[in-house]
């Protein structure tokens, strides 16, 4: 099923929707425990022309996504799988392995991505807590975001920046 929404951009609204998607991904992963973890799935980062936010099942089917869906997928798996979603090299891995939390508090957050000072660009990342400590994860970077050159950006009439 494809549901489309046309919303005026508001950072707080975007965060609420992205974190709702992360919680839905956690439900999917709890209901289907045999699904692969994001970093073991073969999914890669791919920049989108428009904005399509996909749940974890659609991310797996497409095999690629950009920062919004990848971050919502990663946050969802931390919520659903807890310490089992962390691998050696992940922040908090040793602590999580020792504490073995069944669920890890995680959420998507936005960081302003302003190349050469241009406003209106955001990058989605994940923050999570293990044993009272906070950690960040950038699924896009881990899944190939920096392997390709960034497209040039140009100001559109509405004040947003678009690829050219």
Domain ranges of the chain: 11-163
Short-list 75, 143, 69, CA closest to 108: 75
Cα dihedral 45, 91, 13, 35 in deg (nearest 10): 60
pLDDT-derived band of residue 119, with 50, 70 and 90 as boundaries?
low
Residue 121 and residue 114 in contact, taking contact as beta carbons nearer than 8 Å = yes
For residue 13, pLDDT over 70 is answered with: yes
pLDDT-derived band of residue 92, with 50, 70 and 90 as boundaries?
very high
* DSSP annotation of 143: T
What number is the average pLDDT over the span 141-153? 67
What are the tens digits of pLDDT across the range 37-67?
999 999 999 988 878 889 999 999 999 999 9
pTM of the predicted protein model? 0.84
């Amino acid at each position: 099923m494809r549901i489309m929404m046309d919303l005026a951009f508001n950072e707080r609204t975007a965060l609420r929707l992205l974190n709702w998607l992360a919680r839905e991904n956690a439900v999917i992963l709890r209901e289907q425990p045999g699904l692969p973890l994001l970093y073991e799935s073969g999914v890669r980062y791919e920049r989108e022309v428009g904005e399509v936010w996909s749940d974890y099942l659609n991310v797996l089917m497409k095999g690629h996504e950009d920062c919004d869906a990848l971050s919502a997928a990663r946050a969802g798996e931390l919520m659903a799988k807890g310490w089992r979603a962390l691998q050696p090299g992940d922040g908090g891995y040793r602590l999580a392995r020792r504490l073995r939390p069944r669920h890890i508090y995680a959420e998507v957050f936005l960081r302003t991505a302003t190349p050469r000072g241009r406003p209106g660009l955001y990058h989605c990342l994940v923050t999570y807590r293990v044993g009272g400590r906070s950690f960040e994860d950038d699924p896009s970077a881990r899944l190939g975001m920096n392997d390709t050159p960034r497209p040039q950006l140009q100001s559109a009439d509405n004040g947003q920046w678009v690829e050219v």
